Amino acid sequence: MKPDPEDLYRRMARARFCEEALADLWERGLISGEMHLVVEEAVAAGVVAHLVEGDAMALDHRSTPPLVARGIDLLPLFLEMLGHEDGLCGGRGGHMHLFCRELLSASSGIVGSSAPLGAGFAVAAQYLKAGRVAVSFFGEGAFNQGMLLETLNLAAAWRLPLVLVCKDNRWAITTRSRSVTGGNLLRRARSFGIPARRVDGTRVDKVWEAAAWAVGRARAGRGPSFILASCPRMEGHFLGDPLLRVFREPLRQTMEIGPPLMRALLSKPVSAAAHRLPRLGAIGRTLTVLGAERCLLKKDPLRRSASLLGEEARRRIEEEARREVQEAVERALWEAGRGGPHA
């Protein structure tokens, strides 16, 4: 079996335009709290394209792309983000705590919690739904959480039909992951006896192939698999990420953060400045690495996937996806304006 480029691109375009709409609503002040968006549509689409009714998804706080790629109704999704009572979770979950009973999907803002949640789904599938699987999505920063390592152990010991998908963007919020992670993540998974593969997470066709292998193993009762998908982040940890503002507004940010940093460096006792200087250097190195990644590693998965299609098909799919998203946004704003908290 080969991937269907149009189906994959449609899933990705739907997810991308949905997140762009969410960013616009957030910037307009219509969505409260932090907004964690992500350019990981290739990972979401490549994996969920293999899921069928009865399969489950355990998601992290960046849950929108897998849900949208799997075909969730956009209207209740947008109403949820707006805090409306007719939203997906009654307006109480927000973007980090989304639940969808029909798709057997749940997300949580607790780092690493999608692994044990996925194991629970997998146990239920093993006993109640032969041939069904569960998928857990999480970031590489979560791989140091104890509950995730415990899940690897139980998944291997119980041969659970679980696919563990690690989205590696090299950053744990504002910390370089390698500075707090020992060893190699592939070897770590394999040490539990779990087969593992690395894949370019910006290439939906490559993700699809890896997911076909992992989901196939789970459906056949051969136990869990681990996919490490590299996908450099393009939008920071959340919208308005201060690290990215340095590059988007260099002069303004230099004027804002420069003086406080210098005051901190030279504050009393001045003799401690020598101990503070390495900390200032660490901030500079972090900004340098982030700047290099933005210039050298910026790989837009949607643009890369467009190369798999003809121009006519690409335009048609994008127009359809944009229209669907726009109609859902307009309807959600209209309903929220009539009876929601933003009226």
Per-residue pLDDT band for 265 (boundaries 50, 70, 90) equals low
| Same domain (yes/no): 159, 290 | no
Identify which of 72-76, 93-97, 178-182 has the greatest average pLDDT: 72-76
pLDDT digits (tens, 9 = 90+) for 39-81: 689 999 999 999 999 999 999 988 899 999 999 999 999 999 9
Helix (H) or strand (E) holding 273: helix 273-296
Quick one: average pLDDT of 188-208? 96
Instruction: Please give the residue that has the higher pLDDT: either 282 or 306.
Output: 306
Weakest mean pLDDT among 194-203, 214-223, 277-286:
277-286
Identify which of 2-16, 18-32, 251-265, 284-298 has the greatest average pLDDT: 2-16
> For the sheet containing 134-139, what is the strand order?
99-100, 105-107, 56-59, 134-139, 162-168, 225-230, 196-200
| Same domain (yes/no): 127, 194 | yes
Per-residue pLDDT band for 95 (boundaries 50, 70, 90) equals confident
| Same domain (yes/no): 199, 75 | yes
pLDDT > 70? residue 320: yes
Q: Return the pLDDT at 341.
A: 42
pLDDT > 50? residue 318: yes
Quick one: average pLDDT of 308-322? 95
Residue 301 inside a domain? The answer is no
Per-residue pLDDT band for 238 (boundaries 50, 70, 90) equals low
Helix (H) or strand (E) holding 69: helix 64-69
| Same domain (yes/no): 48, 192 | yes
Per-residue pLDDT band for 296 (boundaries 50, 70, 90) equals very low
Quick one: average pLDDT of 208-236? 91
pLDDT > 50? residue 338: no
Quick one: average pLDDT of 122-139? 95
Task: Give the residue numbers spanning the domain of 18.
Answer: 5-234+311-339
Using a pLDDT cut of 70, give the percent of the chain over it: 80
Quick one: average pLDDT of 161-187? 84
Which residues are bridge partners to 118 per DSSP?
A: none
| Same domain (yes/no): 157, 262 | no
Instruction: Please give the residue that has the higher pLDDT: either 178 or 75.
Output: 75
Q: What is the pTM of this model?
A: 0.82
Q: Return the pLDDT at 241.
A: 58
| Same domain (yes/no): 69, 216 | yes
- For the record, the structure tokens of 32 come out as 């409260």
Number of domains in the chain: 2
| Same domain (yes/no): 59, 144 | yes
pLDDT > 90? residue 268: no
Q: For residue 106, how far is the Cα from the chain centroid?
A: 14
Residue 77 inside a domain? The answer is yes
Annotate 281-307 with b (16+ C-beta within 10 A) or e (fewer): eeeeebeeebeebbeeeebebbebbbe
| Same domain (yes/no): 292, 315 | no
Residue 126 inside a domain? The answer is yes
| Same domain (yes/no): 178, 320 | yes
Mean pLDDT of the chain: 86
Weakest mean pLDDT among 38-47, 111-120, 268-277, 322-331:
268-277
Residue 304 inside a domain? The answer is no
Please give the DSSP secondary-structure letter assigned to residue 105: E
| Same domain (yes/no): 103, 13 | yes
249: Cβ contacts below 8 Å, ≥ 6 apart: none
pLDDT digits (tens, 9 = 90+) for 138-167: 989 888 989 999 999 999 999 999 999 999
Instruction: Please give the residue that has the higher pLDDT: either 95 or 126.
Output: 126
| Same domain (yes/no): 131, 186 | yes
Residue 150 inside a domain? The answer is yes
Residue 305 inside a domain? The answer is no
Residue 282 inside a domain? The answer is yes
| Same domain (yes/no): 183, 222 | yes
pLDDT > 80? residue 220: yes
- CATH classification at residue 91: 3.40.50.970
Residue 112 inside a domain? The answer is yes
What angle in degrees, to the nearest 10, is found between the helix axes of 311-339 and 5-27? Answer: 40
Please give the DSSP secondary-structure letter assigned to residue 267: P
pLDDT > 90? residue 36: no
**Cβ neighbours, 10 Å, residue 336:** 23
**Cβ neighbours, 10 Å, residue 23:** 15
Pick the closest to residue 131 from 227, 25, 54, 29 (CA basis): 54
